[in-house]
Structure 1
Amino acid sequence: MKTEHITVGSGSAARKIAVRNRQGKAPGVVWLGGYRSDMIGTKAEALDRWASESGRQCLRHDYSGHGESGGDFADGTISRWLEESLAVFERFAAGPQILVGSSMGSWIALRMAQELKKAGRENRLHAMVLIAPAPDFTHELMLPELTGDQKRQLAEQGYMEEPSEYSDEPNIFTRALFEDGEKNRVMTGLIETGCPVHILQGMQDPDVPWRHAMKLAEFLPMENVTMTLIKDGDHRLSRESDIALLLRTLDAMVAHADG
């Protein structure tokens, strides 16, 4: 799959965003990855194969500071990555699409829905699949757990580090990410997505507790939300059985559209 690049932002804020777009019919899927993940991970590749086999569009990109995209990871914020995701969507997405957000990508997906609705373009979304959704993670999951030392790091050096279970490099969280996260919170009132939402959540997830997904559901319209809890599921939900569940979920969503 050929990688294309588009420029988002201007002047010193300009960054090249890497995009892989498999053309096909709608509804297709738009992949929104998690914090420090990229568009060639297990789930993203599975979505692309599914799209290829079903003749549907599959659109994916790397946020700035991630994967093949330009920009400095330390400059990343929800607003910045949201701007890039909307730019990619507007440039490449054809017809109504299914947003598939993983972890932080679910936060981006929900904010995209809000911005599209604000612009009167909510008909661009067919549905959403939120995998281990982590909207508002800076406020809801991290802020209450910060140690005194971590708060000092944020205040004095502008960032904090913590070990990562998924990489030899530590996770870096900036003060700007926390501050910008406050401006992008969605779990403060009704989240009107304008489309059905299916949440897939592992109950053995050490990063995003399943109760966070339950709390999120309280802010979504009752008639449009389905939740599947995977009792032995972890945060990544990348096992063969997890991928099969994801693809069955998509099959049901597009069958409804085709029907």
Structure 2
Amino acid sequence: MGEPSFLSTKQGRKLAYHRTEGRGPWVVFLGGLKSDMQGTKAVFLEEWAKKQGRAFLRFDYSGHGESSGEFTEGCIGDWAEDTAEAVAALTDGPILPVGSSMGGWQALLLARAMPERVAGLVTIAAAPDFTEDGYWAGFSDAQKQTLEEVGHVELPSDYMEPYVITKRMIEDGRDQLVLRSPLALPFPVRFLQGTADTAVSVETAVRLLEHATGPDMQLRLVKDADHRFSDGPCLGLIAKAIDEVEQASL
């Protein structure tokens, strides 16, 4: 796989990345919360892009993987800054973000920030606004009190060690919400969602589809696929969606 390169951002962070030159638009993979660029989907898409001679970028947000910082120091806005800096410094011309889970939220923030750069968009189990609609809405009064007094709460995860959710992440998340105001996606979009996903519900996917506006937007439900969306058929569907979106953007 090789050693990563590092990008120093104006916020003083060092972001680890792997960048593959090729024909555009640049496919930019945006990972999920506490995941990293060594995940199955990111590595599969890099190999797929190389075989096709396509430009591809994968990177770690700060506090993730091999990038600088601690996870508990970060928040949605910080990772949106990381994403924007990586795209600005490491790609040129049109981009095609592929966002998984929290990366789906990041892809939507990126599309809102620089719509002129986005040729199309693919999300996988996108989790927009989850700090508010998932975490905060699900907290008990005792957890909310702990958050206020201690500054963080720990939540169990189906996939790894407990998530430490900080007060800063909750409060910053409210500044990054995308489902409370108009969300224009004026390019081809494919939302992919598994029906057996226990982290992001089908209802969330439908809410995103109904809320966003755009000329070419589809939600693809995959029966029995879970949140990882990483088996062979699911990986093939991601690649197919990228091809579809690129062709539709021409």
Residue 161 (structure 1) aligned with residue 154 (structure 2) = yes
Alignment of structure 1 residues 135-154 onto 2, 5 Å? 135-154=128-147
Instruction: Please name the residue that 1:9 is paired with.
Output: 10
1:151, CA displacement in angstroms?
Answer: 1.2
Letter in 1 for 2:10: G
Query: Counterparts of 1:255 and 1:197 in 2: how far apart (Å)?
Result: 12
- In structure 2, relative to structure 1, the CA distance for the partners of 1:189 and 1:127 (3 Å cut) is same
Select the residue among 90, 96, 99 that pairs with 1:98: 96
Select the residue among 177, 191, 195 that pairs with 2:187: 195
Letter in 2 for 1:209: S
Letter in 1 for 2:131: T
Give aligned pairs, total. Answer: 249
Select the residue among 234, 239, 242 that pairs with 1:247: 239
Q: State the identity %.
A: 38
Residue 113 (structure 1) aligned with residue 111 (structure 2) = yes
1:149, CA displacement in angstroms?
Answer: 2.6
Query: Counterparts of 1:202 and 1:90 in 2: how far apart (Å)?
Result: 32
Query: Counterparts of 2:131 and 2:248 in 1: how far apart (Å)?
Result: 35
- In structure 2, relative to structure 1, the CA distance for the partners of 1:52 and 1:29 (3 Å cut) is same
SS of 2:174's partner is: helix
1:194, CA displacement in angstroms?
Answer: 2.7
Query: Counterparts of 1:155 and 1:162 in 2: how far apart (Å)?
Result: 16
Instruction: Please name the residue that 1:171 is paired with.
Output: 163
Asked if the contact 2:187–2:215 (Cα under 8 Å) also holds between the matched residues in 1, the reply is no
Select the residue among 52, 55, 78 that pairs with 1:54: 52
Instruction: Please name the residue that 1:205 is paired with.
Output: 197
Query: Counterparts of 1:18 and 1:90 in 2: how far apart (Å)?
Result: 15
Select the residue among 32, 36, 46 that pairs with 1:38: 36
1:81, CA displacement in angstroms?
Answer: 0.4
Please list the CA deviations of residues 138-160 of structure 1 after superposition, one character each: whole Å capped at 9, or x if unmatched: 11122221122321221111011
1:256, CA displacement in angstroms?
Answer: 4.0
Please list the CA deviations of residues 88-139 of structure 1 after superposition, one character each: whole Å capped at 9, or x if unmatched: 00011122111000000111111111111xxxxx231111101001010011
Residue 128 (structure 1) aligned with residue 126 (structure 2) = no
Instruction: Please name the residue that 1:119 is paired with.
Output: none
SS of 1:98's partner is: strand
Letter in 2 for 1:215: R
1:164, CA displacement in angstroms?
Answer: 1.7
Letter in 1 for 2:230: S
Please list the CA deviations of residues 18-38 of structure 1 after superposition, one character each: whole Å capped at 9, or x if unmatched: 111011110131010000000
Asked if the contact 2:185–2:214 (Cα under 8 Å) also holds between the matched residues in 1, the reply is no
SS of 2:33's partner is: coil
Query: Counterparts of 2:106 and 2:132 in 1: how far apart (Å)?
Result: 15
SS of 1:205's partner is: coil
1:253, CA displacement in angstroms?
Answer: 2.5
Asked if the contact 1:17–1:63 (Cα under 8 Å) also holds between the matched residues in 2, the reply is yes
Asked if the contact 1:203–1:210 (Cα under 8 Å) also holds between the matched residues in 2, the reply is yes
1:233, CA displacement in angstroms?
Answer: 1.1
Unaligned segments of structure 2, at least 5 residues: none
Asked if the contact 1:113–1:194 (Cα under 8 Å) also holds between the matched residues in 2, the reply is no
Normalised to the residue count of structure 2, the TM-score between the two structures is 0.95
Letter in 2 for 1:5: F
Residue 26 (structure 1) aligned with residue 27 (structure 2) = no
Normalised to the residue count of structure 1, the TM-score between the two structures is 0.92
1:83, CA displacement in angstroms?
Answer: 0.5
Letter in 1 for 2:187: C
Cα RMSD for the two superposed structures: 1.4
